[in-house]
Amino acid sequence: MRNIRLKVLWVLLVNPMLCIFAMQKQEYQLVTVAFYNLENLFDTENDPITFDDDRTPEGKDRWTQEIYADKLLKMASVIAQIGPPEATTAPALVGVAEIENRKVLEDLVNQTPLKQSHYGIVHYDSPDRRGIDVGLLYDPKLFQVVSSKVYELKLYDPERENRRIYTRDQLLVSGNLAGERMHILVNHWPSRSGGEALTRPRRMAAAALNKRIIDSILSEEPYAKIISMGDLNDDPKDKSLKKILKTKARPEQVGLQEIYNPMERMAKRGQGTLAYRDSWNLFDQLLLSAAWLQRDYEHFQYYKAGIFNKRFLQTPEGPYKGYPFRSFANGKYTGGYSDHFPVYVCLLRKAD
């Protein structure tokens, strides 16, 4: 976190027909909160209880220690840079998805680009059949964990005698950001593998679980500051967001216990975090409760959101030029990064 000097627009309502605007310079503290799907960050060891056999030196992917080390360094270098130009420090909080276990997160935060942040880790093993989990990295100088827990998403296949479908848990971490209470949810909702329509009920169920968690927090803390982040495998306009979570595209539309989605207008402009068959999707999102949307900045408030899609994260040439430069394609390691771009929100408060 660092202080930055911004020009802020103040609005004084004199009467319903007249606004007087004044410009004032003010120093602010800025923090970045980010989310990144790390595209199958697996170690090289064979876990006998998960389907990770391909990601071993002898497996189909020939996942060697050298490749793993290169992948770790690349992921760390990206995380250290996520944010807008005015943010010169690594994010205070980073939600991550597609990580195999706690060990890979420990290896990640010990990479040179991240060492100086001394990131703490919140991680739980999920029941996902592939063994991939979500997690949260946090800068302990800025964020102190008070509590954490996971919520299991129980899904069943109606076409196979209600056989259980094992997927990722939803992680809730509550704590204090530079002394201010907040709640972070990290998600990785069920994929579209098998078809969007066929798998849609699974994401609707994930959204319903997410809403129950948010509502339970708001029932105890009506003005709670909540950020729900993740790879939702749905776009901002899809029913899981609009019908279940009832997200709003503009801050002025958000009621006291409603949710703002700053990514919705980005999606309408054609921006995305991953591409498939010549079209963009914006599956990676950060959703904010109404309490973030005040504009006095006496406490941390929402400032802006973005997609971190720097040129080095894009495929440099060929038919997929401009798409996320994924780390694994056509059966081999590419030396790229991830098949998703990271996303972030910036929070501001007035400096003392």
Q: Express each pLDDT in 202-234 by its tens digit.
A: 999 999 999 999 999 999 999 999 999 999 999
As a whole number, the mean pLDDT across the chain is 91
Q: Which residues pair with 159 in a beta bridge?
A: none
CB 135 within 8 A of CB 105: yes
| 345/256 Cα distance (integer angstroms) | 20
Q: Express each pLDDT in 22-62 by its tens digit.
A: 335 689 999 999 999 999 999 998 776 676 777 788 888 89
Q: Which residues pair with 19 in a beta bridge?
A: 13
Query: Do the strands 170-177 and 18-41 form a parallel or antiparallel pair, or are they unpaired?
Result: unpaired
- Residue 196 phi/psi, 5-degree rounding, is -60, -45
Q: Which residues pair with 328 in a beta bridge?
A: 333
First to last CA, the chain: 13
Residue 160 burial class via C-beta count within 10 angstroms: exposed 0-12, middle 13-18, buried 19 and up: exposed
Dihedral class, residue 139 (left if φ above 0, else alpha if ψ from -120 to 50, else beta): beta
Q: Express each pLDDT in 63-89 by its tens digit.
A: 999 999 999 999 999 999 999 999 989
Query: Do the strands 143-151 and 170-177 form a parallel or antiparallel pair, or are they unpaired?
Result: antiparallel
User: Two tokens at 322?
Assistant: 């401009």
Per-residue pLDDT, 15: 33
SS3 8: strand
- Percentage of the chain exceeding pLDDT 70: 92
CB 286 within 8 A of CB 229: yes
Per-residue pLDDT, 162: 78
Q: Give this prediction's pTM.
A: 0.92
| Bigger pLDDT: 2 vs 240 | 240
Q: Express each pLDDT in 94-132 by its tens digit.
A: 999 999 999 999 999 999 999 999 999 999 999 998 889
- Other beta carbons less than 10 A from residue 19's beta carbon: 10
User: Two tokens at 305?
Assistant: 């959101």
Per-residue pLDDT, 6: 57
pLDDT band (50, 70, 90) for residue 8: very low
Query: Do the strands 274-276 and 279-281 form a parallel or antiparallel pair, or are they unpaired?
Result: antiparallel
Task: Supply the DSSP string of 289-304, one letter for each residue.
Answer: EGGGG-SS-SS-EEEE
Answer yes or no: is pLDDT of 10 > 60.
Answer: no
Per-residue burial over 226-251, b = 16 or more CB atoms within 10 Å of its CB, e = otherwise = bbbbbbbbbbbebebbbebbebbbee
